[in-house]
Amino acid sequence: MTHDMPKPQLEKPQYLDQRDGLKIAYHHTPGKQSDTEALNTKAPNTPGVMFLGGFMSDMTGTKATHLQEHCVRQGLGYTRFDYSGHGQSSGKFVDGTIGQWARDAIAVLDEITTGPQVLAGSSMGGWIMLLVALARPERVAGLVGIAAAPDFTEDLMWAQFSEDQKKSIMEDGALVEPTEYGDDPYTITRDLIEDGRKQLLLREPLNITCPVHLVQGMQDPDVPWQTAIRLTDALVTKDVRVDLIKTGDHRLSEPDQLDVITGHLDAVLAKATR
């Protein structure tokens, strides 16, 4: 569920201290117009954009930095961060769960950003963005899913594991699997699987009413394009758009694919600003 090769990070991140002692690394670029100015001029409060990365990915990837450049050019606020155990944040990856990473994202939303936000979630970040939208509906003005992978620990991992693999997870506490996306293997823990079952979203209607745009590659070996259709069916909002890229893989990081993503981001921002 990771997808971007990291870029060299020249600027040092800031850190958000969590109550549990973890430090969440982030980069935040304020928009040109502050919330106070918007209130004083009675101008529309243009949403900021918050990027949520994938499983074992980080905030230096191609999509995260491309969207930042796009937002900065438009004077929009932009925030990207690393979940605990990822990238430059503290903590161990093997201690992480979907619930923990959702709490990280909510903390960044609450304490770093101001005003309405459009969330752009890549792969696992597409699951996290939905959890954030459910927890903070008053703050989330729109969603852009990029190969969004809700429920992946159950539907795309556990369901495909052999009995031996499942036994390793349940009895040994973890399964270590190689991945084509980097040198470090995936470590799938029992806690990740069991916590993931508490966060499942596609089994019942999702009470999310903001605009949702989904971009999905049809050649994605990790997240079947049918997942986007399942998510569309689950969402309560009628404002859902699905863009299937026939030749797209899981990364969706080619220049033309990045243009598709930014196009959808602009469309959701336009709706959220009305």
Pure H helices in 90-225 = 98-111, 124-135, 152, 163-167, 190-198
Q: Tokens 């005003």 appear where? A: 115
Q: In whole numbers, what is the pLDDT of the chain averaged over residues?
A: 92
List of domains in the chain: 14-150+211-273 (3.40.50.1820)
250 in active site: yes
Quick one: pLDDT at residue 186?
85
27 in active site: no
Of 40-49, 218-227, 252-261, the least confident: 40-49
**Nearest CA-CA partner of 159 in 129, 121, 200:** 200
Q: CA 85, 87, 90, 95: dihedral to nearest 10 degrees?
A: 0
List pLDDT tens digits, range 149-161.
999 999 999 999 9
123 in active site: yes
Answer yes or no: is pLDDT of 41 > 90.
no
List pLDDT tens digits, range 81-97.
999 999 999 999 999 99
Catalytic residue, candidates 89, 122, 123, 168 = 123
List pLDDT tens digits, range 158-178.
999 999 999 999 999 999 988
Catalytic residue, candidates 155, 220, 253, 264 = 220
Catalytic residue, candidates 57, 250, 253, 264 = 250
At 40, is the pLDDT very low, low, confident or very high (cuts 50, 70, 90)? very low
pTM reported for the whole predicted model? 0.92
